[in-house]
Amino acid sequence: MDGRDSVLQHNRKKKTVMNNGNKIKAALFLTVICTILMLIEGAIEIADPAWWEAWEDYHFLELFITLGLLAAIGFLSVEFRAMRKATDTLEEKLRNASGSFNRLLEAHYDSWELTPSEREVARLVLKGCSNAEIAEIRNAATGTIKAQTHAIYSKSGLSGKNQLMGFLLEELTDGHSLN
């Protein structure tokens, strides 16, 4: 998977979240429409004097349904706002974490004195790309990529892809700070 696939996958996930939000908006909208129709129908019936004279159980049921719809609108509104706030909070945390991870990577790349090409190759390695995939993405020979990955591991003091990934994961999970 190259960088473009990763971005496309992220966008698909984001669209799924947006679609779920749209479904909740649609449910809320339909509930509001049904409630308005029930209120209009109830107002028309209440305006008719015959309704008051012939009070029957179904009128109580209609009133109960209308009150239930109004309550549902309130509950859905509160939940939708809470979901939107939680989504915004998670997106902000993700942006912060992504920025922190990028700063962590750049700090290590600087300390290892990686060239710009080696930095790009290292990012693709961290994304899980094979040497052949990296070569294809970068329009380079596989031998060139092998030489660059060897240089990355040599400069970092790590023995390979697994150690590189493990090292950076350990840095993140142990809470090491760059400050």
pLDDT at 154: 92
Question: Residue 10: inside a domain, yes or no?
Answer: yes
Cβ partners under 8 Å of residue 171, min gap 6: 104, 108
pTM of the model: 0.52
Cα 90 to Cα 19: distance, rounded to the nearest angstrom: 17
Q: Does 128 lie in the same domain as 85?
A: no
Residue 28 domain boundaries = 1-98
Q: Mark which of 67, 98, 129 sits at the end of a domain.
A: 98
Q: 């990955």: which residue's tokens?
A: 149
The total number of structural domains that make up the chain:
2
Spatial CA neighbour of 65 closest among 34, 96, 40? 34
Max Cα–Cα distance, the chain, nearest Å: 93
78-83: list long-range contacts, CB under 8 Å, 24+ apart. Answer: 79/24, 80/21, 80/24, 80/25, 80/28, 83/21, 83/24
| E strand or H helix that includes residue 168 | helix 161-173
Q: For residue range 70-106, what is the model confidence (pLDDT) as tens digits?
A: 898 888 888 888 888 988 898 888 888 888 888 888 8
Question: Residue 104: inside a domain, yes or no?
Answer: no
Cβ partners under 8 Å of residue 169, min gap 6: none
Question: Residue 68: inside a domain, yes or no?
Answer: yes
Q: How many CB atoms lie within 10 A of CB 124?
A: 22
pLDDT at 143: 93
Average pLDDT, the chain: 81
Question: Residue 22: inside a domain, yes or no?
Answer: yes
CATH number of the domain residue 139 falls in: 1.10.10.10
Q: For residue range 105-137, what is the model confidence (pLDDT) as tens digits?
A: 889 899 999 999 999 999 999 888 999 999 999
